[in-house]
Amino acid sequence: MATALLSPSPSLAEPKLLSGWNPLISRYQNRITLIQKEWQLHEKITACSVSPEKPSSQNGVCKRELVLFGLSSSLTVVFPSSGSRADEELKMASVVDDINAYSYLCPVELPSKKFMFKWVESRKPERYSSAAPLSPDARLRIVSERVDIIDNLIISVSIGPPNAQFLKSKEKSTWSAKDVADSVLSDKSALRITSSQRMAESSVLDAHMNEIDGEPYWYYEYVVRKSPTKSAQEPNNFRHYVASTAERDGYLYSLNASTLNKQWKIMGPVLQKTVASFRLMPPTDNYVPPFKDPWRFW
């Protein structure tokens, strides 16, 4: 595992040279140069891997680096947290699924709080045809999932076709973020109920779209009233989700991250960084499109 520790530094001006050579000043100037170079690298990696607002093609360390480090190993990078404490840092590890050709950053540690995430890979990456369905019609399926049972955290990736009830046009540039969210959520239920009843379980709080590398990514935040935990019996204790969806080959690829509502203030900003890092990658030889061998279950 390769580890890179990057910390933001305030803008530093070059010190004025004094007459004659001074070893302390020389050492200080070298240190400033090193810090400036580290900060430039940090900006490139952050823009490429985390920020949904900035297309990754504009940066020097982008797709090629993400593909190289993700196939069989993880790269842990420290990014500044958007939490209340300015000195908060979040360690994240890359997760790459070359079967379905996507990647994202998974939170690993909050050093300032001495908090370690305890992820268990409950569903290893698998092809769409053999993945677990989320509804009786088997349209939407989970292709990978990891769970932190102790801290009630879930990160999952699902794939499914658009729901024509909400996304009537085949031209994705006309899709609104709210319609994309409704399309995904309408197929997200294990119960034999109608699409409208499934949507009644969920409430979309926010939805917006950002363009990355010329492709739209739809981001949305929602809550689900039914919580799959024994400790959450109160009606006001529900799961809080944040998600990102992108389209490829006529299917919607969605990353969902969630926790209990009472933990959202602490875990929400962390999960938002994970969702913001979600990217569809250029397919490799291992890529299996969802429409290939739909009858195959192994």
Cβ(109)–Cβ(116) below 8 Å: yes
CA angle 147–250–203, rounded 5-degree value: 50
- DSSP 3-state assignment of 289? coil
Residue 205: closest CA among 167, 261, 152: 261
2 Cβ partners below 8 Å, 6+ apart?
69, 73, 75, 76
- Res 203 pLDDT > 90: no
pLDDT tens for 29-44 read 444 444 454 445 444 4
**The pLDDT value given to residue 130:** 85
- Weakest mean pLDDT among 1-5, 153-157, 168-172, 250-254: 1-5
pLDDT at 118: 96
Residue 236: CB partners within 8 Å, gap ≥ 6?
Answer: 261
Q: What is the pLDDT, as a whole number, of residue 295?
A: 52
> Of 165, 164, 163, 180, whose CA–CA distance to 217 is shortest?
180
Q: Tell me which of 17 and 253 has the higher pLDDT.
A: 253
**54: pLDDT strictly greater than 80:** no
Closest C-alpha among 67, 70, 77, 73 to residue 45: 77
The string of pLDDT tens digits covering residues 258-275 is 999 999 999 999 999 999
Residues ≥6 apart with Cβ < 8 Å to 71 = 96, 98
pLDDT in tens, 227-240: 445 554 555 678 99
The yes-or-no verdict on residue 131 having pLDDT over 60 is yes
The pLDDT of residue 109 is 95
Which residue, 245, 188, 215, 169, is CA-closest to 63? Answer: 215
* pLDDT score of 186: 87
Return the pLDDT at 289: 93
Between CA 186 and CA 210 the distance in angstroms is: 22
Residues 68-91: tens digit of each pLDDT: 333 333 333 444 444 434 335 899
Residue 240 corresponds to which amino acid?
H
**What pLDDT was estimated at residue 21?**
42
CB 261 within 8 Å of CB 240: yes
